[in-house]
Amino acid sequence: MVIFEKWHRNSKKCIFSPLWTKDKLKFCSKKREDLPKGSNRTSDDEKTSLNFLTMQEMKLVCGRKTTFSSTFDKRINVFLKPLEIDIIHDRDINRSELVGIDENTREKTQQKSSNCSETGKNVGYNPKYLQVQRYRALKEEKHCYVYDFEVLDISNLGKYEPGSFVNVHFYNKERLGIGMLNRKSNIVIRIIEKDIEKVIDDQFFVKRLYESVKRRFMYIYNISLYDYIHSLNIRNEIMLFCQMVNSFNDYLPGLVVHIFHKSLFIRYDNISIQKYNYIFEKELDKIFSPKNIYCKKISSKKEKRAQGGKEYTLEQTKGNDLELYYSENDLTFYNNITNISYNVFHLQNKQDRLFLQNLCDSSNVLNINGNVGEYIISTCFSQNGGTSNFGNTERVAILLSDCVKNASYAEKNASLNGCHHVMSLHREDLLEELSNMHLNSLRFGLIIFNVKSSITYRRSAYTSEYGKRHTVTFKGVHKYLSCISDILQSNG
């Protein structure tokens, strides 16, 4: 999802504040020159900015029952490791009292890091100190994760349960913000609020949830959130297919919410946010009144995302239907809620499919790993008159998938959308099938390859979105590209 930072109106530069910058996406109309230099999302800026929610919507938020409350004085204080320059300037500190590795381990780590740097595999780091790059990223709000090797005296955090709120400080006692704790994860703390004195309670989460939904209503569907909640006519007139909450981009780390008309799909990507699932599920039910609510909860206490979706458990908290549908560009696609790893439909790639539609010139089309047919059906479907791009020609369109359920639903979706020329093939070994196509002299003018990235954990990957040892790799993709080049026709 693209969020514009600024736009011009009435000779003013209106600040569109994206993730963790300047303001909480409240769209104030301050001139940029009026903002202080190096300003970020500070408490002063919050006081002068307009509230994104209206008074009517705020009444809905404030009327919620409070089940927990976390105040500044009751939260524990967590300090990050010092920068190396902090030790030089702090003469009163005893370096032996710092929590970290001993000198022998430090020398080995430095030697290993230098060797990695020479080979170009990894940039060295010293775990006894906080890296300058990480300090700047956290201070300038470019990154909101705190890793386990960056926390001072981390052993004391083991007695606190996941989802506890902590006050996070730099080593020099400079305030960083309020974080959600999970000691067992490589990402120990996720910063959710910069104002360290703020009270965290039910209303805090509800307000951010309402702000996230309202952004989609305003800038995608052009409807009022308050009117949608209280008007049955508006609900019946519009069909919503959208990602309503997108984790850190909406200041709700680990929470992902999709709506498919009368069905809600909620995914919790970390244990901390999952602790407060009852708040989100109750409020989403009040806003949308869906027939079905599906929840994917992460069962891995370390929050590792390398099991192809098996680290989640699926719960249906409302309704009985297991089949979902998604509509775009006059096309409808069906899928089963049990037939997914992370996402039901590829909503974010809608513009890509519109682009591919214009490339189809009645030549043979091949789609590899195309989920349930969104790509190949959209590509072969004409924008003019709602007819197939293929007409009555003898051209073929093939969806090749290694998942039997995906292949079955792709065939069903092709039939429902009138694309009878689209053929769905299930093969356990896709490379072997591509080689057979080459031997049979089958050529394609357009090949759509949906690359599946695999998540691995290795020592050389210190910092990433899902933990210090996580990295995304496209190992083996060159084999597919080699086979694809063999079956791609000239000028294809």
Domain total in the chain: 4
Last residue of a domain, one of 193, 226, 254: 193
Specify whether 35 is located in the same domain as 55: no
Specify whether 297 is located in the same domain as 370: no
pLDDT for 329 equals 85
**Nearest by Cα to 122 from 461, 491, 492:** 461
Sequence length of the chain is 492
Percent of the chain with pLDDT over 70: 73
Specify whether 189 is located in the same domain as 207: no
Say whether pLDDT at 310 is over 50.
Answer: yes
Specify whether 385 is located in the same domain as 305: no
Domain membership of residue 153 (yes or no) is yes
Specify whether 227 is located in the same domain as 140: no
Specify whether 123 is located in the same domain as 216: no
Q: pLDDT tens digits, residue range 187-201?
A: 999 999 999 999 999
CA atoms in the 13 A half-sphere facing the CB of 436: 7
Read off the pLDDT of each residue in 167-181 and give the average, rounded to a whole number. Answer: 96
Specify whether 55 is located in the same domain as 91: no
Specify whether 218 is located in the same domain as 171: no
Token pair 């037939």 is at which residue? 339
Say whether pLDDT at 144 is over 50.
Answer: yes
Domain membership of residue 94 (yes or no) is yes
Structure tokens at 70: 């976390």
Say whether pLDDT at 255 is over 60.
Answer: yes
Mean pLDDT score across all residues of the chain: 79
Report the CATH number at residue 160: 2.30.130.10
Domain membership of residue 123 (yes or no) is yes
Q: Is 303 left (phi over 0), alpha (psi -120 to 50) or beta?
A: left
Task: With H, G, I as helix, E, B as strand and everything else as coil, classify residue 132.
Answer: helix
Specify whether 67 is located in the same domain as 205: yes
Domain membership of residue 372 (yes or no) is yes
Specify whether 251 is located in the same domain as 361: no
Q: pLDDT tens digits, residue range 284-300?
A: 999 999 999 999 999 88
Task: With H, G, I as helix, E, B as strand and everything else as coil, classify residue 14.
Answer: strand
- Which domain, by its residues, includes 56? 51-71+199-321
Report the CATH number at residue 364: 3.40.50.150
Higher pLDDT, 155 or 343: 155
Pairing mode, if any, of strands 397-401 and 422-426? parallel
Specify whether 291 is located in the same domain as 350: no
pLDDT for 22 equals 38
> DSSP string of 305-344?
--STTTTEEEEEEE-S--EEEEEETTEEEEEETTS-SS-S
